[in-house]
């Protein structure tokens, strides 16, 4: 279980680190992560409008970036479905 | 990333299914999961009093059981440290 958690943290950081703030996901980074890593879990993963809408619903403080805990909420809700 | 998520869900269910309600963790199940699976992430994991206290802080609806999303919150907070 610890190694699976480690994989998720490492992958989040890899995507979050590609532009701008290295510990949050921008819209582009989120879109890349969704299409590459969790496309089977998300309807219309390839549609940028759909991932933008999803991101807006997760971005509680509305700063255009997802931090790790905001992202973690999404994974938890997907995983519990 | 999907396979790592799958591991966490499967492991949660394996521990949750050992007694009583099969989709929540009782105190005993939570203690077993913590000591076996995430002991490196949690201080005093082997101390039942410490895991009981941790469980109480996570059990928002105070029913003596942890559901998946309550458990997921814990992992997210541990992972983001």
CATH number of the domain that B25 lies in?
A: 1.10.238.10
pLDDT tens string B22-71:
999 999 999 999 999 999 998 898 999 999 999 999 988 888 899 999 99
| Domain membership of residue A42 as a residue range | 25-51+63-76
Average pLDDT of the segment spanning A19-30: 92
Whether B3 is covered by a domain: the verdict is: no
Please tell me which of the candidates B7, B69, B72 has its beta carbon nearest to residue A4: B7
Top-confidence residue, B76 or B60: B76
ipTM of the complex: 0.90
Q: Which distant-in-sequence residues (6+ apart) come within 8 Å of A67 by Cβ? A: A23, A24
* Alpha-carbon gap, residue B34 to B31, rounded angstroms: 5
Question: In chain B, how many domains are there?
Answer: 1
Q: What is the pLDDT of residue B27?
A: 93
Q: Do A78 and B5 touch (CB under 8 A)?
A: yes
Whether B51 is covered by a domain: the verdict is: yes
pLDDT band at A61 (very low <50, low <70, confident <90, very high): confident
Q: What is the pLDDT of residue B62?
A: 84
Whether B11 is covered by a domain: the verdict is: no
Q: Do B4 and A1 touch (CB under 8 A)?
A: no
* Alpha-carbon gap, residue B81 to B79, rounded angstroms: 6
In angstroms, the separation between the Cα of residue B67 and the nearest Cα of chain A is: 10
For Cα atoms B20, B49, B43, give the angle at the middle one, nearest 5 degrees. Answer: 105
Say if residue A63's pLDDT is above 90: no
């Amino acid at each position: 279980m610890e190694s699976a958690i480690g994989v998720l943290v490492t992958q989040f950081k890899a995507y979050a680190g590609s532009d701008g703030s290295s510990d949050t996901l921008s819209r582009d980074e989120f879109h890349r992560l969704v299409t590459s890593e969790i496309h089977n879990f998300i309807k219309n993963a390839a549609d940028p409008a759909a991932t933008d809408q999803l991101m807006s619903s997760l971005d509680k403080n509305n700063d255009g970036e997802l931090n790790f805990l905001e992202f973690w909420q999404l994974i938890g809700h997907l995983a519990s479905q």
